[in-house]
Chain A
Amino acid sequence: MLTRRILLLSASTILAVRGLPSSPARAQNLDQAAAFIAQTGTDIVTVVNGPGSVADKQKQLQAIIDRTVDVNEVARFCLGRFWRTASAEQQKEYQELFHRVLMINITGKIGEYQGVTIAVGRAQPREGGIVVASTVSRPGNPPSKVDWVVSTESGSPKIVDLIAEGTSLRLTQRSDYSAYLARNNNSVQVLIDALKQQASQPG
């Protein structure tokens, strides 16, 4: 555990020294992103491991996600090239459904996260945002490497992606949708209907 953190630290130090842009403004952005993720991590851990009923916890976790994740941007990304072919109403309906399904998928398994801890590492700039490294540990599971992609485009930092053990959640979601669309005549309406189905199921 300790070694892994040292490893992460030393890896990011090497990268930092090796001439990645380090203007003061950028460094400030990086620090801000790392602090933002550290705070978000603490909030999540507090809710998940805290007292209260499952319903309470789900509501609190939902509030954290709404506050820290740019869900609409993630939704737009996941629709990929079909975003442009969708009508304005379809875009709106899709985003709302995406939001509902995401919440069900995340908060539905809240019991499984019991005992979770998050150790936040260093932040690094990457195409499309800042990547904050972290190690997520759950009892009975090997610790896993989770990178949080933070975008500051809207002014305040927002999470736009999670990269778990090298796999990007939004990229995976986008392949899922685009494969589904390809098998359904590229019809966004069919996808929306499928999401409706998912949104109506209890987590």
Chain B
Amino acid sequence: MRRLSQPFPLLAAAVVLAAMQVGCASKPPADDPDAVSEYNQTNDPLEPTNRVFYAVNDGLDTVILRPLAVAYRYILPETVRSHTHNVLTNLSQPVTLFNDILQARSRRAGDSLMRLVVNSTVGVGGVFDVATGWGWPAHDSDAGMTLAMWGLPGGAYLFLPVLGPSSPRDATGFASDIALDPLTWVGNGEVVTALGWTRYSLTAIDTRAGLLDDLDKIKAQALDPYATIRSLYQQHRQSQIDDARSDDRTTVPAWFAQPRRP
């Protein structure tokens, strides 16, 4: 596993550099303020390159990931899939917890801790999501959000090979999450490596299966799926960050007061 964690940041860095060299979208002339404002809002100066990677990913998705996701959904009953999803979520719970702490969101961190403890024990290693019913619902938290809450600007939109929609901040976050994950550092040997890859593959298929209907709909209905996905991704990330910022959840037990953010 330790060997695995290295290529990801390297890959991300290489992609960013390659993208910068290959091509940039031409900025509209300054005498067209509407076009300029749209250009700034879209925040996609690397669009020509991004579109190439989008096309590559879309091709890979069509021949590999989507069929796997369809098969996964076809072969396994819903209960098995939801238990698998629960196990994968529970495995990534420590990363969620660390990020809650790094974001100084103590109530969210409390919920994450309880989720990890309850679901790993009563929930039989995460197979059953008991914690949600007991008042500790799941929430999104990752290092990309942490960096955002620390004030790091998102940077330009990136469409990365394999990983999909991202930004310099989210790509850094992705690598940091792997580094933050205790499972990245536990044990070595072939079995551990195999288990690690199994987990990554299952996570990819589980995520893709969850997006099956939405992505099919986007591809069928959008005139420009690339732009639609870009907009959805940017809005969704912003809303996750806003949610984390404004989250003053009431908790049981009443975890200590948490600092409010502007």
Q: Which residues of A contact B (CB under 8 A)?
A: 3-4, 6-7, 10-11, 14, 80-81, 105, 109, 112, 140, 165-168, 171-172, 175-180, 183, 191, 194, 198
Which of A10, A81, A180 sits near B250, CB closer than 8 Å? Answer: A10
Provide the B216-257 mask, 1 if CB < 8 A to any CB of A, else 0: 010001111011101110011011101100101110000000
Are A176 and B137 interface neighbours, CB within 8 A? no
Are B228 and A175 interface neighbours, CB within 8 A? yes
| Those of B20-44 within 8 Å (CB) of chain A | 34-35, 38, 42
Which of A140, A168, A171, A176 sits near B78, CB closer than 8 Å? Answer: A140
Are B242 and A166 interface neighbours, CB within 8 A? yes
Are A105 and B221 interface neighbours, CB within 8 A? yes
- List, in ascending order, chain A residues with CB within 8 A of B135's CB: 3
Which of B223, B242, B250 sits near A6, CB closer than 8 Å? Answer: B250
Are A168 and B235 interface neighbours, CB within 8 A? yes
Are A11 and B38 interface neighbours, CB within 8 A? no
Which of A80, A176, A198 sits near B231, CB closer than 8 Å? Answer: A176
Are A172 and B240 interface neighbours, CB within 8 A? no
| Those of B171-201 within 8 Å (CB) of chain A | none
Are B221 and A180 interface neighbours, CB within 8 A? no
- List, in ascending order, chain B residues with CB within 8 A of A191's CB: 223
Q: Are A3 and B137 also in contact (CB < 8 A) when A11-B246, A166-B243, A167-B235 are?
A: yes
Are A175 and B236 interface neighbours, CB within 8 A? no
- List, in ascending order, chain A residues with CB within 8 A of B249's CB: 7, 10
- List, in ascending order, chain A residues with CB within 8 A of B242's CB: 166
Are A171 and B231 interface neighbours, CB within 8 A? yes
Are B232 and A167 interface neighbours, CB within 8 A? yes
In the complex, the chain B residue whose C-beta lies closest to that of A105 is B221
In the complex, the chain A residue whose C-beta lies closest to that of B39 is A182
In the complex, the chain B residue whose C-beta lies closest to that of A147 is B239
> B241 → chain A, closest Cβ, in Å?
9
Q: Are A165 and B213 also in contact (CB < 8 A) when A81-B38, A175-B227, A180-B227 are?
A: no
In the complex, the chain B residue whose C-beta lies closest to that of A166 is B239
Q: For the complex of A and B, list the 6 residue pairs with the smallest distance between their C-beta atoms, beginning with the closest.
A: A166-B239, A179-B227, A175-B231, A180-B223, A81-B34, A179-B224
Are B34 and A165 interface neighbours, CB within 8 A? no
> A154 → chain B, closest Cβ, in Å?
26
Q: Which residues of B contact A (CB under 8 A)?
A: 34-35, 38, 42, 78, 135, 137, 213, 217, 221-224, 226-228, 230-232, 235-236, 238-240, 242-243, 246, 248-250
> A63 → chain B, closest Cβ, in Å?
22
Which of B34, B137, B236, B248 sits near A166, CB closer than 8 Å? Answer: B236
Q: Are A172 and B223 also in contact (CB < 8 A) when A166-B238, A166-B243, A167-B239 are?
A: no
> B144 → chain A, closest Cβ, in Å?
15
Are A172 and B213 interface neighbours, CB within 8 A? no
- List, in ascending order, chain B residues with CB within 8 A of A198's CB: 221, 223
Known A166-B239, A178-B38; 13 more pairs at CB < 8 Å: A3-B137, A166-B236, A166-B242, A166-B243, A167-B235, A168-B235, A175-B227, A175-B228, A176-B223, A179-B223, A179-B226, A191-B223, A198-B223
Are B236 and A180 interface neighbours, CB within 8 A? no
Which of A4, A168, A175, A180 sits near B230, CB closer than 8 Å? Answer: A175
> A117 → chain B, closest Cβ, in Å?
18
In the complex, the chain A residue whose C-beta lies closest to that of B237 is A166
Distance between Cα atoms of A109 and B216 in the complex (Å): 12
Distance between Cα atoms of A81 and B230 in the complex (Å): 20
> B143 → chain A, closest Cβ, in Å?
19
- List, in ascending order, chain B residues with CB within 8 A of A80's CB: 38
In the complex, the chain A residue whose C-beta lies closest to that of B32 is A81
Which of A7, A172, A178 sits near B232, CB closer than 8 Å? Answer: A172
Distance between Cα atoms of A10 and B246 in the complex (Å): 12
Distance between Cα atoms of A64 and B173 in the complex (Å): 44
- List, in ascending order, chain B residues with CB within 8 A of A180's CB: 223-224, 227
- List, in ascending order, chain B residues with CB within 8 A of A11's CB: 246, 248
> A192 → chain B, closest Cβ, in Å?
11
- List, in ascending order, chain A residues with CB within 8 A of B213's CB: 112
Distance between Cα atoms of A175 and B230 in the complex (Å): 9
